[in-house]
Amino acid sequence: MLFELSHLIVIDKVSLDLSVDESLKIGQLGRIADKVDNMDKRLEECKKLIKPTALYTYTKIEQVSKEGLLIDNNRLLKSTKLAEQLSCSTEIAPYIITIGPDLEKRVTSIATDKILDSWILDNLGTYALRTLGKHIEERIRNEKGWKISRFNPGSTPTWNLEEQEKIFGIFSKETVQEKIGVRLTDTFMMIPKKSVSGVMGQAISDYHNCIECRLACEYRQMPYKE
């Protein structure tokens, strides 16, 4: 279901094409696949628990400086990497996506008695969230014809987590919570946890956050480059 409120685009109840084979490529799931029964059933549980929702908009880049990007309402997205990679762009697409709170609640509720089940379900949630990100990326690509790169606050040393507040500010925190049920804490963490915020744009090179991040995490999609 699609809602367009002036320049704000909200997509409610996104239909995701999720498969067991693709899920096994996420995190460590593939390494234990031969030891786990009923992955089809587990994925079906994941599908019932998630509520994939997204909002995004398009905003003009008013100025590119060494510090970052100056966008509408005199907001500065402070990141040298944004300034470098989007120096030739005139527009970006800020976005926030989530799969909702229900899967997270289920993961927590069974974590003590069913540790493996909890871990598998959590990884399937990560897979669903990543698939949602690709869905929105494809949508924006079709609308704008961009070769898209994604940038996320806190994912690299070049864009601090605190900048997440500016992404929420583009839409207003109240609007984000009302439309997709995501809120930002005082420590700049999103609730539900299976949520992502950032910007998409047409970069000067094929850029990905992961190449600058040393951490080993469930979201890694490309190897770190020294």
Inter-CA distances, 207 with 73, 124, 210, 219, Å: 27, 26, 9, 16
Q: Looking at residue 212, what is its pLDDT?
A: 56
Dist. CA 94–CA 10, nearest whole Å: 12
Q: Looking at residue 13, what is its pLDDT?
A: 83
Cβ–Cβ under 8 Å, residues 64 and 83: yes
Q: Looking at residue 224, what is its pLDDT?
A: 45
Q: Looking at residue 30, what is its pLDDT?
A: 78
Sign of the Cα pseudo-torsion (167, 92, 209, 182, in order): positive
Q: Looking at residue 208, what is its pLDDT?
A: 53
Angle at 150 (CA atoms; ends 147, 153), nearest 5 degrees: 160
Categorise residue 167: left if φ over 0, alpha if ψ from -120 to 50, beta otherwise. alpha
Q: Looking at residue 220, what is its pLDDT?
A: 54
C-alpha radius of gyration, the chain, whole number: 18
The third-level CATH classification (topology) of the domain covering 2-212 is NADH Oxidase (3.40.109)
Taking alpha carbons only, the member of 68, 63, 66, 64 closest to residue 78 is: 68
Q: Provide the whole-model pTM.
A: 0.89
Backbone angles phi, psi at 55, to 5 degrees: -140, 145
Residue 5 has which token pair? 């409120």
Cβ–Cβ under 8 Å, residues 136 and 56: yes
My answer on whether omega of the bond before 94 falls inside 30° of 0, hence cis, is no
Q: Looking at residue 107, what is its pLDDT?
A: 98
Taking 50 as the pLDDT cut, the residues of the chain under it are 3-5, 224
What's the chain's length in residues?
Answer: 226
